[in-house]
Amino acid sequence: MLGQMMQQPLLISSLLVHAERHHGEREIVSRRVEGDIHRYTYRELAARARRMANALTGLGLAMSERVATLAWNGYRHLELYYAVSGSGAVLHTLNPRLHPEQIVYIADHAEDQVLFFDLSFLPLIAAVAGRTKTVRHWVAMCARAHLPADAAGIPGLLCYEDLIEANHDRYDWPVFDENSASSLCYTSGTTGNPKGVLYSHRSTLLHTYAAALPDALNCSANDAILPVVPMFHVNAWGLPYVGCMTGAKLVFPGPALDGKSLYELFESEQVTVSAGVPTVWQGLLAHVQANGLKFSSMKRTVIGGSACPPAMLRTFGDEFGVHVLHAWGMTEMSPLGTVCSLKPRHLQMDAQARYAVMSKQGRAVYGVDMKIVDESGAELPFGSETSGELLVRGPWIVDQYFKGEGGNPLRVDAAGHGWFPTGDVATIDADGYMHITDRSKDVIKSGGEWIGSIDLENIAMAHPAVAMAACIAAHHPKWDERPLLVVVKKPGAEVTKAELLAFFEGKVAKWWVPDDVAFVDAIPLGATGKMQKNRLREQFKDYALPTA
């Protein structure tokens, strides 16, 4: 017997319809590439998105064809989020931090038909425009007054605001299968070509519901959300969709992601929630500490993308009264997998014990199932102190990569369930809190025993002289591999190797303490702000550890 409820597909356009109808007056604020501050409402967003949907129809876009963007966080990019997916096409957010060769490869692989771009990326567009195979239309996201006179050699360059003005806002969002593709993101893998992850309307809506929950990102109409995480990085972790679902004020920082610019926007717009990777927050904290500043409205920030150093958790909490939600996910997971929301008993703990819990990546949000397995594939119980490979499944987790790249990525268990192997090594405690101890490719195996590089990096980052730290495996004649700590010192700070190594005493087992420290000017970061340990391993492949 089937239930007798209405069958209404879960479509991204419904988020915009809801926001316009119930939160039409709520403000969306953007710092533009042009340098000024732009303000309008959800009602105006909806009207302009409908105009752009009509423009896409006029450009000949068919159902499921891909529309690419190379853009910062801003209101025009938000309009494309809804106009493209809502009209039945697929939004493909390109990462402008990639090399032009990678941009060309990804655009060709996706078969992008239209490419919208912010003017700050004009040199990048000029470098790739003559080399892509499928792009038929290039659109500069600006008004005609800002359109470059010579079009930088880009054939048939169109103007975004011209398209908006040439089309009316009467548009009925089409109704189609909720399993239809909605957006496309490519992994930022450090080996091989990036692989595409194709999200559906259904997966995106379910992810949005879960992300907004109180024990997840805890968003409501009373919030002002500033996503520092780029809209080209896994759809800004879903926050542009959460904004429409909840009616929260949205604040977009544009290209100005330095500490001073972010702080000014936080204060002027009374931001309550933000989200970004640790490297961004380092710059913000450095600015507020150097200038004796405080946050007047910010209540919490979501930190993900890579492990949040415990020292950063404590700085935000103890010095500034900002609660950190440590989160974890992947492009293949839309991306949200876990959030470190505390349970009632954790609130009764002393600060040190509470921060120890908060340093974990947290518990699974509803919709995500996870487990850890040993080297033989046997599942390890929650509460085991043994690390294992982390596997996940759920309705917004990838089933296969776009165009079948790399074959079937899933592992099928005895019950016939497919699990996605994350590549992370983790533990899960008795309360279900997951703690990543390493990436499988970054694990240091010394004398047959694993050493977690993330734990060592977090300890190093707590030293007052350390700005950034990475721990990698270096060859050892006896133990095969031993930890090498690579450190960037804070400006003007001084610390010796011996002092840093002594800092580990009593914090980890003696055999975990790094054998040596290498000081560098900078640690290479990838397109999403993650440390590129593969490049460090290549740089230090011949490093001679002290053996005495």
Catalytic annotation, residues? 187, 332, 445, 450
92, 68 in Cβ contact below 8 A? yes
For the beta carbon of residue 484, count every other beta carbon within 10 angstroms: 24
Rounded CA-CA distance 309/461 in Å is 7
For the beta carbon of residue 378, count every other beta carbon within 10 angstroms: 8
Rounded CA-CA distance 156/136 in Å is 9
524, 536 in Cβ contact below 8 A? yes
Ranges of beta strands (E only) in 320-455 are 323-329, 336-339, 363-364, 369-373, 379-380, 388-393, 411-412, 418-428, 434-439, 444-446, 449-451
Question: Residue 370: which residues within 8 A CB-CB, separation 6 or more?
Answer: 337, 338, 364, 390, 391, 392, 393, 428, 434
The string of DSSP letters for 279-335 reads HHHHHHHHHHHHTT---SS--EEEE-SSPPPHHHHHIIIIIH--EEEEEEE-GGGSS
Tokens of residue 207, six digits: 């992810």
Tokens of residue 111, six digits: 């078969």
SS3 241: helix
- Beta strands 158-159 and 181-186, pairing class: unpaired
For residue 481, what are the β-bridge partners?
Answer: 475
Tokens of residue 176, six digits: 């189609």
Checking 477-482 for CB contacts under 8 A at 24+ apart, the result is 477/547, 478/447, 478/547, 479/446, 479/447, 480/445, 480/446, 480/447, 481/444, 481/445, 481/446, 482/444, 482/446, 482/514, 482/515, 482/545
Task: Output the 3-class SS for 23-77.
Answer: CCCCEEEEECCCCCEEEEEHHHHHHHHHHHHHHHHHCCCCCCCEEEEECCCCHHH
